[in-house]
Amino acid sequence: MTSNSLGIKFLSVLLTISLSLGFEAKASDSAHEGDEKFDISSMIFHHIGDAHEWHFASFGETHIGLNLPVILYSSDRGIETFSFSNLKSHDPHRPVVFKGYTTNHHGKIISTLPGREIFGFMKDPHATHQEGAVQVYNISITKNIASMFLSVVILFLVFIPVASGYKKRQGAAPKGIQSFFEPIVVFIRDEIAVPNIGKKSDKFMPFLLTVFFFIWFNNLLGLIPGGANLTGNIAVTFCLAFFTLIITIFSGSKDYWMHILWTPGIPMWLRPIMLPVELVGILSKPFSLMVRLFANITAGHVIILSLLGLTFIFKSAAVGVAATIFSTVMSLLELFVALLQAYVFTLLSAMYFGQATAEHEHDHADGHH
């Protein structure tokens, strides 16, 4: 078979997958709203958001998906676990109540009992607030978390064999999967860690490698149709950026803190003004990491979904073909963005570690610039 016909085959597979993704969106949406009108924003938010079931595809009224376990913790009831199938309702206007819990129109679990509410960082503006209510912590294995576990399994299945290759072929040339990942690991060491951190880079390598491959693998998993938008979730990017912040703070040298608290090389009267600026800088750096990864990945998903949504807005096959071609091109671009964002996150983390651990000479030179 020529590569050309293989390419056509691949394109047709992509087309089919993309179209089925769109059809599924339409089906779920019409079930949700109860009429034939297509609501693109709810379709997009449904896809980039989290859910208690992992929905793969729908054929008419048949839904293929996985009900994920619900895990709730409250001080009065302890840990409660049950399958989400107990809460699933086929009629959106008549939600099922189970053990005092039900779902709202976003598919989120809410409490039906007075004096109990699900804990959240942002209060639902529609819900009635009760003072002193028992907080129920929802630590269910959602679609995002299940996807994250899957990525962890993949990470282990990939890198533990890679590592064993170094033991098996000590000092010899890499082979198989080892030779695919070795250049990437060497790149992270020689092009990201060493130029930015210097001699102390070995200490930060495990974190940088973990962050890089965690983000990259999850970005790629998110691009698979039906996959979760994990790295486009603010909680995930917040957590990753938070680890970078913690490591930066705890590896900060004396010079680093002196530089922040009493910036050298500027007039005395400016120093108290610089202090809050520098303190904000400590937080703004990881904040930018968090927003950059979240926004890039979410935006990519939104663009692809919007392009596919056009088909259902115009209800035209011609638009469908064009939208599929465009979204395929976007998907290819997203494959690159998946790698690029992993690289950018790792590079910037390395730069922050480098600034924190820099020696006096370096700091001093910076002060004069």
Interface contacts to another protein, rule CB under 8 A: 45, 48-50, 71, 106, 119-122, 137-142, 144-145, 148-149, 152, 155-156, 159-160, 162-167, 170-172, 182, 185-186, 189, 202, 205-207, 209-210, 214, 233-236, 238-240, 243, 294, 298
- Rounded Cα gap, residues 63 and 84, in angstroms: 15
Our CB check for another protein shows the closer of 18 and 237 to be 237
- Considering the complex, what minimum distance in angstroms separates the CB of residue 8 from another protein? 37
Burial label for 291, CB within 10 Å (0-12, 13-18, 19+), is middle
Q: How many CB atoms lie within 10 A of CB 244?
A: 23
Q: For residue 238, what are the CA distances in angstroms to 216, 231, 252, 285?
A: 16, 10, 21, 12
Element (H, E) at 240: helix 234-250
Q: What is the token pair recorded at 237?
A: 């990017």
Q: Residues 18, 327: contact at Cβ < 8 Å? A: yes
- Rounded Cα gap, residues 203 and 205, in angstroms: 6
Half-sphere CA count of 254, side-chain side, radius 13 A? 2
Q: What is the token pair recorded at 92?
A: 């959106």
Give the SS3 label for residue 29.
helix
- Rounded Cα gap, residues 243 and 229, in angstroms: 20
Task: Classify the C-alpha dihedral 48-116-80-64 as positive or negative.
Answer: negative
Encode 199-210: b = buried (16+ Cβ within 10 Å), e = exposed. ebbeebbebbbe
Q: For residue 198, what are the CA distances in angstroms to 69, 204, 251, 362, 369?
A: 46, 11, 14, 11, 20
